[in-house]
Amino acid sequence: MKILKTKQEVKQQLFAHRKAGQSIGLVPTMGALHEGHLKLVKNAMSATDIVVVSIFVNPTQFNNPADLEKYPRTVAGDLDLLEKEEVDYVFLPEVEEMYPQPTALTVDFGNLERILEGAFRPGHFNGVGVVVSKLFHIVQPDKAFFGQKDLQQVAIIRRMVEDLSFGVEMVVIPTCREKDGLAMSSRNGRLSAIDRQRAVILYDSLVQARKELLAGKSWFEVQKEISHKFNEEPGVKLEYFELVRTNSLEMISEIDLKAPMEGQKSSICTAAFVGDVRLIDNLSI
């Protein structure tokens, strides 16, 4: 496994592989790797010839400086995990390498970035769009691998790939969960023992809501029940709990149980603070 620190090193190393006709897979991460990331890596290794994992905590997607400061950084452990997986390359740039000067360009994803996460984290998806486009230009992957847990991020990047004609295929991998259902996240390590127990409310609420919707309950009733459930749980603060069309993220208030499943593609999305840690999750219907 080779560690690459600069854009030039990446281009030099991958040139020979590209010339030999080998396919290249990219797994973009912000480090603090867990089993969910490794699942992306394993999928990349089975689907492409050469795998590049990037580790970069992108400052431009944090609208809260305190959140950036607290974001877990475990580079030594991350590199050990990736070496065990026999990853080919790790791109580990410094901030100055990715942003030699402040970026003047801004990316506006329209309504896609103004709802759900975008409503609570202004500027977040501009930062995501800029850094992912940089990684796509630097690595020029044939396939890029993302987790379903970040549903809105997936929708944003898919839109960017389509609108800007990036020659990359997006591969979306189902959310990895702990045994009790909590979606794996780098932020989970910041939860206290009691907050870790409380955090299961996100997944439990998603499962409950899906079950009740499929049983014919109205979304208004379901949403009201779930809001009450969060209000009753100490140390937990719900930010949103919404029903959306999976690809467009258009908010909807009902699902058509008679429509073909292929035409449905709806998801329930949620975000909540558990203690001082903000967690997100979603579940498809």
The residues assigned a catalytic role are: 37
- 72-82 b/e with 16+ CB inside 10 Å = b? eebeeebbebb
264 is annotated as contributing to ligand binding: no
- CA dist 283 and 285 (Å) reads 7
61 is annotated as contributing to ligand binding: yes
- CA dist 243 and 269 (Å) reads 6
251 is annotated as contributing to ligand binding: no
185 is annotated as contributing to ligand binding: yes
- CA dist 201 and 196 (Å) reads 10
181 is annotated as contributing to ligand binding: no
18 is annotated as contributing to ligand binding: no
- CA dist 34 and 176 (Å) reads 9
21 is annotated as contributing to ligand binding: no
- CA dist 99 and 272 (Å) reads 31
101 is annotated as contributing to ligand binding: no
Identify the bridge partners of residue 89 per DSSP, sorted by sequence position.
2, 52
238 by DSSP, 3-state: which? strand
228 is annotated as contributing to ligand binding: no
Annotated binding site for (R)-pantoate: 61, 153
Annotated binding site for ATP: 30-37, 147-150, 184-187
Annotated binding site: 30-37, 61, 147-150, 153, 184-187
Annotated binding site for beta-alanine: 61
